[in-house]
Every structure is written in structure tokens, then in C-alpha cells.
Chains A and B, each alone.
Chain A
Amino acid sequence: DIQMTQSPSSLSASVGDRVTITCQASQDISNYLNWYQQKPGKAPKLLIYDASNLETGVPSRFSGSGSGTDFTFTISSLQPEDIATYYCQQYDNLFTFGGGTKVEIK
């Protein structure tokens, strides 16, 4: 089984800050990685697919990078509406989510 280690588990940042979340796979998954956002009380939403591609309609302040085992998700300028938990997900071998990162406003 492929394990996904996501960090940090939570973070607090100010509006306008750059926020970075990392996700490490237990083995090479090429670019078979997605990022999702789940706001409180809402269904998860796909933001980034294939490690670095922005889903249609998602603001350009969100971005993703990486390949192999190490991946990064970035919010270039944190906005109040970005308060959510973010998850990485691999689909190289079945499907595994990372543990999630809860993002709060300082």
C-alpha cells in the first residue's frame, strides 16, 4: 500500500501570507497526485489534478508542484475564504489520501 504523509497537520497564517503544504509518498507515484479542499460542512472539492494542473474555475492563487515522491501545494496569498482542510490524494496504486492540513486565519 502507498502511504501519503502530509504536513503540517494544521497551520495558522495571516491574510495575504504564502502558505505551503507538503505531501510525501512512500514510493514513486510519478505525477499521479491530486489536491482537494474541504470547507467546514461542505463536500470536498478538487483543486489541482496530476500534481500541477489547476481545475477549471479554481483561483490562480492555488498551485501544485512535484513528482515522484515529493509534492507541494501553495496558496500564494491566503484569503479568508480559503479556511478549509486540504488533502493530497495519490492514484498510482488504488487510492490514498494524506492526513489533511487544517488552514486557519491568524
Chain B
Amino acid sequence: EVQLVESGGTLVQTGGSLRLSCAASGFTFSKYWMTWVRRAPGKGLEWVANINQDGSEKYYVDSVKGRFTISRDNAQRSLFLQMNSLRADDTALYFCARGTNTIGPWGQGTFVAVSS
């Protein structure tokens, strides 16, 4: 069974940094693109970033470019999202998901709250 478990979400101050992790199991992690998607309170889903199988291709939504970095460790079957210069509008539930064009399965998410 495919499992994706996110961690690292917490309350952080505006301008701070945070690193999210996603532990994958139940599939050959190194063969798949991986994606981060977020859902802000009261809002819809927003694609954040994705990364190809060997980490050589990375794409970001404009609002996080230059602040967030997606990475992966295939040996550890883990996906990461380094989040710097956090803003209030980054407050959201962050999901890790397998795939790129067609996204799934998804993890349950980890919540990031950015407050001044």
C-alpha cells in the first residue's frame, strides 16, 4: 500500500524558515515525480512545487519562487520542502503527493501556521 507521511509543520513567525518532510513507502520512490500542494484555510488547493525522479528538474508556483526549495533523497525515500522568508499567506495544510500531471496518492498533510 502506498503511504505518504508528511511532518515538520508548526507555528512559525513571519520571515522564519521551516523544512517539511514526506516519508514514502509502498512504491519505488525513485521512479516517480513528486509534488507539494497546499490548501490555505477557507481556500482551495494550490500546486506549490514538483521535482523529477533524480532531482534535476524542479518547478514552482510564482508565489514561492526564490523562497521555497523542493528536494528529495531517493536513498531515504523522502521528499522535502525548505521554506524560507515565510509570510502569513503561506499558512496552509501542505500535502505531499506522488506524480506530476496526474497527482496521487496524497498524504494527509502537515499544517504550517505563519504568524507575526
Contacts and interface: CB of A to CB of B under 8 A. Distances in A.
A71 to B, nearest CB: 15
Contacts, number: 60
Given A91-B102, A97-B45, 12 more contacts: A36-B45, A43-B106, A43-B108, A44-B37, A44-B103, A45-B106, A50-B102, A95-B47, A97-B44, A97-B46, A98-B44, A99-B44
B61 A94 contact: yes
B103 A46 contact: yes
Contact of B45 (A1, A49, A50, A87): A87
A94 B102 contact: no
Interface of B: 35, 37, 44-47, 50, 59, 61-62, 95, 97, 100-109
Interface of A: 1, 32, 34, 36, 38, 42-46, 49-50, 55, 85, 87, 89, 91, 94-100
Contact of B107 (A36, A43, A45, A96): A43
Given A97-B45, A97-B46, A97-B47, A43 B105 contact: yes
Q: Is the interface of A mostly helix, strand, loop or mixed?
A: loop
A34 B107 CA distance: 18
B108 A87 contact: no
B45 to A, nearest CB: 4
26 contacts: A32-B101, A34-B101, A34-B103, A36-B103, A36-B104, A43-B95, A43-B109, A44-B95, A44-B104, A45-B106, A46-B103, A46-B104, A50-B102, A87-B44, A87-B45, A89-B45, A89-B103, A91-B100, A91-B102, A95-B101, A95-B103, A96-B47, A97-B44, A97-B46, A99-B44, A100-B45
